[in-house]
Structure 1
Amino acid sequence: MSWHLFTIFFVSTFFISATPGPNMLLAFQYGLNYGVRRTLWTLAGLSLGLFILLLSTLLGLDVISRQQPWLLEVIKTVGAIYLIYLGVLSWRDTGHSSLMAEASAVSEEVAKLDYFETSDSSYNVQQPKPRSLSSAAVKVIPSNSKLFRTGIWVSLSNPKAILFFAAFFPKFINFSAPLWPQYIMLTFGLFLSETIWQIIYTLGGKQLAGWLDVSDRLAWLNRACGVIFMLIAAALLAEVASHFIS
């Protein structure tokens, strides 16, 4: 993989990672509720879950590229269509909903898991479950291991990530060259961009949320991601077309 292609990949993933998905919203909410040091455990869990999903995708692409090359072209085509779909959704997303409200919704979903647990052994302070699910994540102080497991759960609970990786990564992989060096570079680039934004959302989430909620800033960020999705989709379709023409 050339450094030019890697730079395009990193810039693309950096913009995409900036959008407030479940991982970033959880980092934002927990940073506010528990502080930066405690939230680092959650960030570690988010990273581990993301790595599991990414590794599953890359192993699948590796097997397909060696055993069923024609299926790889199908995956590229379907992936391009999926990226166009994501691009349209991102472009139409005005971002008018408050980031604070979205983060609270993510925190409430996590709190529901705590509410239905039969044991409180993962908490530092034993106390009755609060009746309000939306305030559970604030009133109950989870242990470090609980924060870590929550990060893994939130990351793995998004199976769409596998579909996104399968659609996004093939454009940046040269399947006729050694694959694992490319996988390592792409994984490094993705984790670097994700980690940077997770830390930003954890450290300055409130300020960032306030800045994005002003005017149409979040809408323009979504539109920029939409353009990136569509450009990569067009490049994938062009690559598939050239494969069949040659």
Structure 2
Amino acid sequence: MSWHLFTVFFITTFFISATPGPNMLLAFQYGLNYGVKRTLWTLAGLSLGLFILLLSTLLGLDVISRQSPWLLDIIKVIGALYLIYLGVVSWRDTGDSSGLIEDAEEMSADIASAQETITATISNWHLFRTGIWVSLSNPKAILFFAAFFPKFINFAAPLWSQYALLTLGFFLSESIWQLIYTLGGKKLAGWLDVGNRLTWLNRTCGVIFILIAIALLVEVASTF
């Protein structure tokens, strides 16, 4: 993999990771509730859950690329259509339905109600398990990985070195934004909730999704 391609990958994942999805909302709310130091346990759980989903996806792509190359083209087309769908949804998401603080509090309440017992003193192990649970409870992540990563993988070259580099870049961007959401707290939420800032962040990600989808479709068409 060239450094130019890796740079494009990192920049796109950095923008996508900035959007306030479940992982970022959890980091934000727990940072407010439990402080930065203890929320690091939750961030570790989020990262482990994401790693499990990503590893499962990459292993599947590896097997398919070696045993059924034609199926890989089908996955790319389906992935491109899914990215177009995500792009349209992101573009239309104005972020006006509720503020980030309200979203984070609602998510925190849902998590609390789903746990068997919530004690007055939450253990570090509990924070860690909650992070894993939130990551693994989002099966859409597998669809996203399967749709997004193939554009940046050269399946004719050794794969595992590419997997390692892409995984490193993805987790670097995710970790940076998880820390920003944890540390930023209400300041970040207040900044994004002002005017159209969150809307334009969503629209930027929507454009990125659609551009990658077009590139995938062109790549598949060029093989015929």
Q: Distance in 2 between matches of 1:38 and 1:83?
A: 35
Q: Distance in 1 between matches of 2:164 and 2:71?
A: 23
Per the TM alignment, residue 41 of structure 1 is displaced from its structure 2 partner at its CA by 0.3
- C-alpha deviations, 1:126-147, integer Å up to 9, x for none? xxxxxxxxxxxxxx33100000
Partner of 2:223: 243
Question: Does residue 185 in structure 1 map to residue 186 in structure 2?
Answer: no
Q: Distance in 2 between matches of 1:73 and 1:197?
A: 32
Partner of 1:57: 57
Partner of 2:145: 165
> Which is greater in Rg?
1
Question: Does residue 84 in structure 1 map to residue 84 in structure 2?
Answer: yes
- C-alpha deviations, 1:179-203, integer Å up to 9, x for none? 0000000000000000000000000
Secondary structure, aligned partner of 2:189? helix
Correspondence list, 1:64-83, <5 A: 64-83=64-83
- C-alpha deviations, 1:202-232, integer Å up to 9, x for none? 0012110000000000000000000000000
Partner of 1:219: 199
TM-score, length of structure 2 as denominator length: 0.98
Partner of 2:110: 109
Q: Distance in 2 between matches of 1:166 and 1:141?
A: 39
Q: Distance in 2 between matches of 1:67 and 1:112?
A: 44
Partner of 1:45: 45
Q: Distance in 1 between matches of 2:110 and 2:166?
A: 31
Partner of 1:18: 18
Per the TM alignment, residue 113 of structure 1 is displaced from its structure 2 partner at its CA by 1.9
Q: Distance in 2 between matches of 1:109 and 1:55?
A: 28
Q: Distance in 2 between matches of 1:178 and 1:199?
A: 33
Deviation >6 Å, runs of 4+: none
Q: Distance in 2 between matches of 1:243 and 1:24?
A: 38
Identity percentage over the alignment?
78
Q: Distance in 2 between matches of 1:47 and 1:164?
A: 16
Q: Distance in 1 between matches of 2:51 and 2:28?
A: 20
* Aligned-partner residue type, residue 42 of structure 1: T
Q: Distance in 2 between matches of 1:189 and 1:106?
A: 27
- C-alpha deviations, 1:50-105, integer Å up to 9, x for none? 00000000000000000000000000000000000000000000011200011011
- Long gaps (5+) in structure 2: none
What's the RMSD between the two structures over aligned residues? 0.8
Q: Distance in 1 between matches of 2:186 and 2:63?
A: 43
Correspondence list, 1:121-160, <5 A: 123=119, 140-160=120-140
Partner of 2:190: 210
Partner of 1:27: 27
Q: Distance in 2 between matches of 1:49 and 1:218?
A: 26
Q: Distance in 1 between matches of 2:121 and 2:221?
A: 55
- Long gaps (5+) in structure 1: 124-139
